[in-house]
Copies of this chain bind each other. A is one copy, B any other.
């Protein structure tokens, strides 16, 4: 079992852990080698990560964290106990400590929170041959390296040199002649979601992150962006159902109720409002009780068509397609749709209700006729 776990990718081990109830999950977690703990903690969801960390002592946590890069540590840090985090910071060298502290200082939805520090830089005045020799001396490049960052001696970004240009260009060419100097760059304070859109739009694999002075401070990679897109989509889905956050599938009933109660409370308030409105018409309902039976239909159709419009507009706002210049025509259009829907479904409901009451009336007449007939028969008997 342990050796089988060792042969699996951290993401696959994470999946197994997610799908297990708490006690079995911790049993499996015990079997995972210490040096892989860090990578797996990065892959599991926040909720599951907390259950795993709660089961580890400080030494185990420190050992796991030591296997990670600074940017990975930054992802893990918010879930670590304070004393472990302090020990970690003490163990880091000055550069990495500064990086970790700055990464932790950005808000969760800023580019600074998703950037990493695996940057390979070269100077602009060397030939490609020299650059290639430098690469070979490095011996390996970080994952996702699709471009080298060209900087001057003050780490100011001058341009980027894609690997695919490096390998096809003449070896005697100078870096500054080959590099592209209009690369898409980000600032650590930029909104991560905007950066993600730029990645999709311009089909990026990595992009440099620079400070206000254009000094290179890190990079964003497409895998971090993809994780972000997936997380955003999921949190949109969850919040549409009023779930506050990703829920550990095997969280206690009590924890689940805590995650879900706020939305239900809001709903209770709106439902109370609806109930007051209905209260205004108690007189009418008292006269025709069938009206009460028609209420859920009106509420359902109204709610759902409103929901459709909301979804459309929210999506348009997210994509930047709704702006002041087209507001007028959008409102006109949605009012038109609402009117048509109202006529259509009101009509359908009217036909159904009429048919039903006509049916009732016919039944009544039949019964009266039948009773009459019986009476008549009775007379004749």
Residues of chain A touching chain B, judged by Cβ–Cβ distance below 8 Å, are: 9, 11-12, 15, 18-21, 132, 135-136, 138-141, 143-146, 163-164, 166-170, 199-203, 205, 222-223, 225-227, 229-230, 232-234, 236-238, 240-243, 247, 249-251, 253-254, 256-257, 260-261, 263-264, 267-268, 270-272, 274-276, 278-279, 282, 285-286, 289-290, 292-297, 299-301, 304-305, 307-308, 310-312, 315-316, 319-323, 326, 329-330, 333, 336-337, 340-341, 344-345, 348-349, 352
Which residues of chain B have C-beta atoms less than 8 A from A168's C-beta? Answer: 135-136, 138-141
Main secondary structure of the interface of A (DSSP, over half): helix
Interchain CB contact under 8 A, A167 and B136: yes
A304-B263 in contact given A293-B279, A321-B15, A329-B21 (Cβ < 8 Å): yes
The complex places the Cα of A19 from the Cα of B316 at a distance, in Å, of: 9
Interchain CB contact under 8 A, A329 and B250: yes
Chain B min CB distance to A89 (Å): 27
A243-B312 in contact given A274-B296, A278-B293, A321-B18 (Cβ < 8 Å): yes
The complex places the Cα of A18 from the Cα of B326 at a distance, in Å, of: 11
The complex places the Cα of A51 from the Cα of B197 at a distance, in Å, of: 25
Chain B min CB distance to A238 (Å): 6
Q: Which residue of B lies closest to A292 (CB)?
A: B292
Interchain CB contact under 8 A, B250 and A333: yes
Interchain CB contact under 8 A, B263 and A275: no
The complex places the Cα of A217 from the Cα of B264 at a distance, in Å, of: 52
Partner of A336, one of B205, B243, B253, B312: B253
Interchain CB contact under 8 A, B243 and A311: yes
Q: Which residue of B lies closest to A246 (CB)?
A: B315
Which residues of chain B have C-beta atoms less than 8 A from A294's C-beta? Answer: 275
Interchain CB contact under 8 A, B9 and A202: yes
Interchain CB contact under 8 A, A229 and B223: no
Q: Which residue of B lies closest to A140 (CB)?
A: B168
A307-B136 in contact given A19-B321, A264-B345, A326-B21 (Cβ < 8 Å): no
Which residues of chain B have C-beta atoms less than 8 A from A264's C-beta? Answer: 301, 304-305, 341, 345
The complex places the Cα of A333 from the Cα of B260 at a distance, in Å, of: 14
Partner of A233, one of B136, B229, B299, B349: B229
Interchain CB contact under 8 A, B275 and A201: no
Interchain CB contact under 8 A, B144 and A203: yes
Interchain CB contact under 8 A, B164 and A141: yes
Interchain CB contact under 8 A, B205 and A222: yes
